[in-house]
Amino acid sequence: MAELVSEKTGGEFTMNVSYGGLSKNRENLDGISIGAFEMAQFCAGYHRDKNRAITVLELPFLGVANLDEEVAVSAAVYAHPAVQDEMKQWNAKLLMTSPMPQYNLVGTGDPRDELTEFNGMRVRATGGLGQAFEAVGGVPTSVTATEAYNAMESGVVDTVAFAQHAHLSFRTIDIADWWTENLNPGTVNCPVVVNTDAYEALSDEHRAALDEAVGESIEHYLTNYGELLAKWEGILAEKNVTKVTVSEDEIAKFREASLPIHQQWIDDMTAQGLPGQELYDLVISTLEKKRMSN
C-alpha cells in the first residue's frame, strides 16, 4: 500500500511503516484514537470488548472456505453502519481487511479426524476457536503464538491451531506428525484502520489514491499468500507430515456443536444494543452470494 500511494501521487504521499514499534500489540486502537499514529492493523480477538461487532467474523465454523470468501464477508461487515459507529469511538475508519486463511491443526501422535477423538485434546486455540474445541470436549489454552512451539514440544498441548504461514513462522510444523487440511474451524479477523481526522485531512487527490490502493493491496496480498499455499504440499512432504482429511459428516458434527456459540454471540450482542442477528445473517448471506457469483 505504501508503494502504491507513493506511485499514484508522484512521491507526494508517503507512509512510514513500523513493525510493532509504535505501541503494544493490544493498544493499536488506543493509539489511533489519540492520533499517536495515523494507521494501524489490529486483530479483533486481542480485545473483543473494543470491537464487539466485528467479532462475528471470528465465530467458529461459519463455513468460510478460502481467502476470497474471507475478503467478501469482511468487507460486508466493515460496511455495516453499526460496525462503523463502534469504530467511531476510537476515531477510526475501517480501511481494509488483512485476510487470514482458515486455521487448521497440526498435532503430534495419531491423527485425529473424528469429533470423538477431540475429547480431552489439549489445543492452542483462542477466542471462538477455543470455544469450538471446548464444545466438543477439547481443552483450549491461549498460550501466545511465540510460546506455541515450546508448548507443543513439551507436551503442554497436543495440537496447535494456526494458519499455514504461522505454522511456518512459529515452527510448529517442524515437530508435527499431522495436519488437518480441511477442518477449517475459523480464523482471526484483522482490520487495517486509519485515524478519521488524518483521513479527512488528506487532499482529495491523496484520499483517492489511498482508497484506490485498497483493492490493489488486497490483490497483492492474495497473490503473495497464494504462492505460499502452492508450496505447502511440498513443505508437508519435506517435513514428513501426514495430511489429514476430515469427512464432511464429521465437519457437520463440529458445525452442529458450534451453533450454540453462534446463538450466544447473537444474544450477547443484542443485549448490548448491537444488531447481532443482522450482522450474523449478513455474514451468511454474503457467503451465499459470493458462492453463487463464482
For the stretch 70-114, pLDDT in tens is 999 999 999 999 999 999 999 999 999 999 999 999 999 999 999
For the stretch 27-82, pLDDT in tens is 999 999 999 999 999 999 889 999 999 999 999 999 999 999 999 999 999 999 99
Confidence of residue 189 (pLDDT cuts 50, 70, 90): very high
Q: Is the pLDDT of residue 242 over 80?
A: yes
Instruction: Measure the CA–CA gap between 162 and 148, rounded to whole angstroms.
Output: 10
Q: Within 13 A of 135's CA, how many CA atoms are on the CB side? A: 21
pLDDT value of position 138: 97
In the numeric block, the cell 494501524 is attached to 40
Q: What is the DSSP letter of 66?
A: S
Instruction: Measure the CA–CA gap between 35 and 90, rounded to whole angstroms.
Output: 10
In the numeric block, the cell 502452492 is attached to 230
Instruction: Measure the CA–CA gap between 276 and 262, rounded to whole angstroms.
Output: 10
Q: Is the pTM of this model over 0.85?
A: yes
CATH classification for the domain delimited by 2-51+58-99+188-236, as one of 2.40.128.30, 3.40.50.150, 3.40.190.170, 3.90.79.10: 3.40.190.170
pLDDT value of position 244: 97
For residue 60, which of 135, 121, 110, 119 has the smallest C-alpha distance? 135
pLDDT value of position 178: 98
Cβ atoms 13, 5 nearer than 8 A: yes
- Percent of the chain at pLDDT above 90? 92
Cβ atoms 210, 13 nearer than 8 A: yes
- Average pLDDT over all residues of the chain: 95
